[in-house]
Structure 1
Amino acid sequence: MIIKNCLIITNDENNSFYENGAVYIKDKLIEDVGNSSDIVNKYEDEEVIDFEGKLLMPGMICAHSHIYSAYARGMGVSKPTDNFFNVLENQWWALDRQLTTEDVRLNALTTYMESIANGVTTVIDHHSGPNSVENSLFTLGEAAKEVGIRTNLCYELSDRDGKEIRDKEIKENIDWIKHCQKEDDDMLRGLFGLHASFTLSDESLEKAVKAMDGVYDGYHVHIAEGIEDQWDCQRKYGKRIVERLEDFGIITENTLAIHCVHINGREMDILKEHNTPVIFNPESNMNNAVGVPPVNRFIEKGLKVGLGTDAYTNDMFESMKVANIIQAHNTQDPTKGFAETLDMQFKNNPEIVSHFLNHEVGRIKKGAYADLISFKYDPYTPLNENNWGGHSLFGLTGRLVNDTIINGEFVMRDKIITKVDQAKIHADSRQRAEKIWSKL
């Protein structure tokens, strides 16, 4: 399949840019990219799709989300949410305890569809639902297959619902990771999920690490999102969170360190030593009033910082806009935020995800997965290889996405989700959400 007649932002190593470009997709991969006439003439027997001047770029990547929170949109909460712990207990944990396996499926389908509609082609998710643990990651995985999105899944281990459920959570993580290893399908990958230090005893961490022995060393863990998490760790264990996790062998190059709002220089050094990426979730941090992580100090320390949403939105362009301005605001330096945010989404997120895959994502280049998005974007200022980042931050939004291609297939074409019945899924989700809300 050849897609021709498009303005192409490749985001490759050379920042290649084509004003009238074409991409040749063979099976799941990008086989060639160049000027339209050259590509069409070179592969003359291939199907050709004319994009009629649309903007084409690599699909967006969300490095941290929570599918289980999908029903929260428009939901009222009757109990206090006046501090971080109350937000967790009275909103998120109250919600996730209500979820059935069917809710897990609906949450996944709606989140994945909206992600695709906003040009997100890969989602790294951190799941929770203590009364529907068994097969929950497999349910998420099947939903991802249905809509055709690339995803990396884990279940968040926690002590908050007792040891019996904790042990089910360990098993679900291990079963899923082993399944992904056996299938070796880059559409589905797995990590071991950990909620946070303050909800995990030494016993639980020991059991998790023992279960992972000989299986994998990749974890997905919230770190010091709220200052209370850090205080709890120092009071109980006499050390800081990253130090504690390092002692268990959890801080590795295959681990994702989420939030890290309240870590210090020593903890940053530990993360750097192990090449552990940090994932910044700007809108969620602001919404929960937990503070803003010292992103610029992370970068100065040489940490790889990726960008997620923590499920606040499924539009990475929106997340980028906030990541940019909150850094400038927080440092009181208007030169901070712009370049750093572009690096997070377009350099670091592709590297973070590609680390777990057999081929690259986030680039339009030979050998990369064909995860592409198009826009009907008519800019009123010049758009070129030197300023496409500025257009990404200040001109593009998820709502402008017209087509989404993942793994070489259209999963949205002309704004229509192609693989599932979106209207029916939304109707089913509304019905279930109303029942869930009545219990909260």
Structure 2
Amino acid sequence: MLLLGEGTVITRDARCPIIKHGGVIIEGSVIAEVGDFETLQQRYPEAEHLDAHGGVIHPGLINVHHHIYSALARGLSFDNYAPKNFLEILEGQWFRIDQGLRNQETKASAVATYLACIQAGVTTIFDHHASYGEIADSLSVIAKEAKRFGVRSCLCYEVSDRNGRAAMEKAVAENLRFGKEANKDPDHLAAMMGLHASFTLSDTTLDYVVNKNSDQLGYHIHVAEDIADLEDSQKKYGLRTVERLYQKGILGDKTLAGHCIHIDDDEVKRLAETNTMVVFNPESNMGNAVGAPDVLKLYYSSVLLGLGTDGYTSDMFESYKAANCLVKHQSQDPNAGWGEVPEMLFNQNRKIAQRHFDLSLGILKPGAAADVIVIDYEPPTPMDETNINGHLLFGVNGSDVVTTISDGVVRMKDRKLQGMNKKDLLAEVRMTADAFWKRLKSQSEEII
């Protein structure tokens, strides 16, 4: 039994949002009690004390759209690469990287990403993976690292036509194989059927995927991220992107649609009526210059809308800040986003996660999963239940997380990784990345 405290406990439970001078009792992998620290000390004298140093105690964060495979791209550049649009970004960089990734590089990418998650207080992620250099067992390679670092992970492999029929079928098979593996450990792993985007998926392929998906895995797919996706769907099929996916049986309450930027009112209604989940990725949208979704329209159309990072970062506080600004900028309304964005991050991400994990996540209350973080933050102004999110928005970054607990296990304590050596881990990742970069740069441009 573990007593975490004393600190300001932000529970994300509407019945008791904040407990000053509070603590959390963890028994095994679940939370046993949340309350006044001194009272908990007296009630559980045998509990081991983990000092929160007066910081903010908060539920572990959830990222509902990540790309582990992008981790080795940091600092990488290609000669004569100057993309002018999103398709050139994909073809000149990301497709080139994922076509070269083998399981060795996938492992290194997972190590780098999960380390970053733990350091930023992220204890659950939904990842969308691609490694066409080696497809088989790639999701198991990631899952092994997910368990080692203690980050709950809903994984999928990206199905696409861009590498030919055989590779497409192998990608589908990898999703189905991993789905069976994830079912053996439902508290820590979940599976979806990964799909790249409408413009890289023919009708023949979508029919094949749906027919093979007898296990009825939910779909994780990029939707109308760039205008090219919409234009492709209209030109080839006479349908807008969301409607095409609907007619092919892709939408539904277990499906996660990334981005949804270039969609119209009818498509928003279709997403809502099918109970399809949508994820907003603000930094990626800005960085790729693809536009931004109408977040307020989606939100107020009863679409379950969450917040992700699309591989840009593992820091959800960073994504929170970017989302707050982009919603205001997009709507030209300085009052927009104050309530909607934190609702997406702290409540709707939790609801998305609970469609794939049969656990109470993202909340500190008895019976919930013991995923808890401590943030080194001392407010310079009064903090109470009415302004918690304002303090986190303007006062906290992922680097302020000092302690991360997941599944009741301390993964990082006072910024020190537990049971693993950070320096050694990163040295191995760098060595793998260096060899990978050299191999990529030596290969012909024809691999694009």
- Give TM class, smaller chain: over 0.9
The 1:320–1:157 alpha-carbon spacing in structure 2 relative to 1, beyond 3 Å, is same
Any unmatched runs of 5+ in structure 1?
Answer: none
Question: What is the rounded CA distance, in whole Å, between the counterparts of 1:312 and 1:353 in structure 2?
Answer: 20
Which residue type is aligned with residue 398 of structure 1? G
Structure 1 distance, partners of 2:313, 2:400, is: 16
> For residue 202 of structure 1, what is the amino acid of its counterpart?
D
Match of 1:194 in 2: 195
Q: What are the within-5 Å matches in structure 2 for residues 318-329 of structure 1? A: 318-329=318-329
Partner of 1:20: 21
Query: Post-superposition shift, 1:36?
Result: 1.0
The equivalences for 1:217-296 within 5 A come to 217-296=217-296
Q: Which residue of 2 aligns with 1:41?
A: 42
The structural deviation recorded for 1:15 is: 4.2
Contact 2:111 2:429 survives alignment (8 Å) = no
Q: What TM-score, normalized by structure 1, do the two folds share?
A: 0.97
Residues 217, 250 of structure 1: 8 Å contact kept? no
SS class of match (2:384): coil
Contact 2:403 2:414 in 1 (8 A): yes
Q: How large is the Cα RMSD of the aligned pairs? A: 1.1
Distance 2:47 2:314 in 1: 34
Give CA deviations for 1:76-107 in whole Å, capped at 9, x if unaligned. 12233111101000000111111111100010
CA contact (8 A) 1:65 1:309 kept: yes
Q: 1:24-423, aligned counterparts within 5 Å?
A: 24-78=25-79, 79-181=81-183, 183-213=184-214, 215-423=215-423
Larger CA deviation: 423-432 vs 195-204: 423-432
Contact 1:307 1:344 in 2 (8 A): yes
Q: CA deviation at 1:50?
A: 2.9
In structure 2, C-alpha distance between the alignment counterparts of 1:150 and 1:27, rounded to whole Å = 16
Partners of 1:126 and 1:220 within 8 A in 2: yes
Equivalent pair of 1:148/1:419 in contact (CA under 8 Å): no
Deviation at 1:354, TM superposition (A): 1.6
- Secondary structure (helix, strand or coil) at the match of 1:126 reads strand
Aligned partner letter, 2:325: I
Matches of 2:220 and 2:18, distance apart in 1: 35
1:100-150 alpha-carbon deviations (Å, 9 max, x no partner): 111000100110001110111111100001121000000000011111111
Structure 1 CA distance for aligned equivalents of residues 50 and 297 of structure 2:
46
Tell me the amino acid that sits aligned with residue 3 of structure 1. Answer: L
Structure 2, unaligned runs of 5 or more:
442-448
Q: Give the distance between the partners of 1:322 and 1:405, measured in 2 at CA.
A: 26
Deviation string 1:251-295 (CA, Å, 9 cap, x unpaired) is 010000100010111111111011111100000000000001110
Write out per-residue CA displacement over residues 350-404 of structure 1, whole angstroms, 9 at most, x where no aligned residue.
1110221222111001111011110121221111111110011100110111000
Provide Cα deviations, 1:312-355, integer angstroms capped at 9, x if missing partner.
11100000001001111111110002211111101100111022
Q: Structure 2 CA distance, aligned partners of 1:359 and 1:429?
A: 32
- Equivalent residues of 2:7, 2:54 under 8 A apart: yes
- The percentage of aligned residue pairs carrying the same residue is 40
Amino acid at match of 1:62: N
- TM-score when scaled to structure 2? 0.96
Contact 2:105 2:436 in 1 (8 A): no
